[in-house]
Structure 1
Amino acid sequence: MTIRRNPLNPIVAGVAALSLALSANSTLAEPKSYKIDEEHLSITFEVNHLGYASVIGLFLEGKGQFEYDEETNEVPSGKVVIQSASVFSNHDKRDEHLRKEDFLHSDRYPEITFEVTDFETTGERTGNLTGDLTLLGQTRPVTLDVTLNKAAEYPIGHKEYTLGISASTTIKRSDWGMTYALDPLMVADDVHLRFEFEAIQDEGWF
């Protein structure tokens, strides 16, 4: 008895195997959603005053979420929202001034937002994160230096998969129309921003 073999069978099998492989890779490459843990979020700013010393302050209220693909090291989307009135520099009168029209104008612009537009890998755990920063009603691109400090299941508490991230950049406040005390120069134009946070893998957006 002669068994006839279909010459197309190896091709069909190969196509099927390739399809399965592509499907598996697509699953692996699917970005995950991460929500910033507000209990472990620090947003600091540093501005030189009269050349003597820098004032270092915080924004005490912020939240955010982003998508991150650990296989491809891509950040397809993300957003951080900061409450401008939460500014704190450990001096009540200065903080009230920072909330006024000369600086943050918090009554009119209660939120400062950053929305991700691009991410470029610069090392195994580093990259340049570009996004649109909206401040005082104006939106301009900003690039942050980002370092992924740790990615693992949290050892205590919620025990979810968590990322630990450091990010920093320097902006010129005058680019957003904040020109108070620049002429004569009392408060520097350069503002150094730093973000330290933990982000928990989470499927829901805020």
Structure 2
Amino acid sequence: MKRLSFATAIAGLLMTGVAFAADSYDIDPTHAWVRFETNHAGWSQAQGAFKAVSGTIAFDKEDVTKSSVEIVLEAASIDTNDEKRDTHLKSPDFLNAEEFPQITFKSTAIEKTGDKTAKVTGDLTLLGTAKPVVLDVTWNAESPLPWDANTIKTGFSATGTFSGPEFGITKMTDFGLGPDITLDIDVEAVKK
């Protein structure tokens, strides 16, 4: 009887551990939006987006500090609503997309700030330079798809600002841009 009780207790502990482990998600590239804006000579906030976004999320709802995120942007997918400008932004003057095809953000620490909010610190790698950037993140919701109860989606919104020249985009100021760039990120991710 004692063996059975001990085995039951161990099984219960293991099941509890599994219940509180981080869930894994893949960012849905068809429901991921990464927009950016930067000052344009005081006239306006120049804006654009990256069309190719992917990544993974490990989300521990019981202890968000144990969560993690990795986002990948394809530099050549930049879109500012002007083909000539986009071509210039992909050039060595700005993103140098041929030599550095990906822009990545990989979390290094998460600090809970509210019921559904956190500050996510991570390494942003741009033009081969990695520096810490802080994103203010909101967990929006999680639920099954209305037409497929077996597919669970979760969604996040995030924003953060960094200096373009500090990452090697030194010609920004030559064109009256920046120097700060703000990222706005909205992603939906599918539970594995």
- 1:92 is the counterpart of 2:58: no
Please list the CA deviations of residues 36-73 of structure 1 after superposition, one character each: whole Å capped at 9, or x if unmatched. 11110101000111101011101011111121112222
Contact 2:140 2:157 in 1 (8 A): yes
Gap runs ≥5 in structure 2: none
Q: Which amino acid aligns with 1:66?
A: I
Please list the CA deviations of residues 89-120 of structure 1 after superposition, one character each: whole Å capped at 9, or x if unmatched. 00111111111111101111111111121111
Q: Which amino acid aligns with 1:64?
A: G
- For 1:153, the equivalent position in structure 2 comes to 144
Q: How far is the alpha carbon of 1:17 from its aligned partner?
A: 6.8
> Size of the alignment, in residue pairs?
192
Superposition pairs for residues 164-183 of structure 1, below 5 Å? 164-182=155-173
Contact 2:120 2:134 in 1 (8 A): yes
Q: How far is the alpha carbon of 1:124 from its aligned partner?
A: 0.6
Q: Percent identity over the alignment? A: 35
| TM-score of the pair, normalised by structure 2 | 0.90
Measure, in 2, the Cα distance between the counterparts of 1:71 and 1:28: 9
- For 2:132, the equivalent position in structure 1 comes to 141
Please list the CA deviations of residues 135-191 of structure 1 after superposition, one character each: whole Å capped at 9, or x if unmatched. 0001111111100111111213575111111011011111112111425x7111010
Measure, in 1, the Cα distance between the counterparts of 2:132 and 2:76: 23
Contact 1:68 1:74 in 2 (8 A): no
Q: Once structures 1 and 2 are overlaid, which stretch shifts more, 19-28 or 81-90?
A: 19-28
- For 1:7, the equivalent position in structure 2 comes to none
| TM-score of the pair, normalised by structure 1 | 0.85
- 1:188 is the counterpart of 2:188: no
- What RMSD in Å do the two structures reach over aligned CA positions? 2.2
Gap runs ≥5 in structure 1: 1-10
Counterpart of 2:18 in 1: which secondary structure? helix
**Whose strand proportion is higher, 1 or 2?**
2
Q: How far is the alpha carbon of 1:77 from its aligned partner?
A: 3.3
Contact 1:66 1:75 in 2 (8 A): no
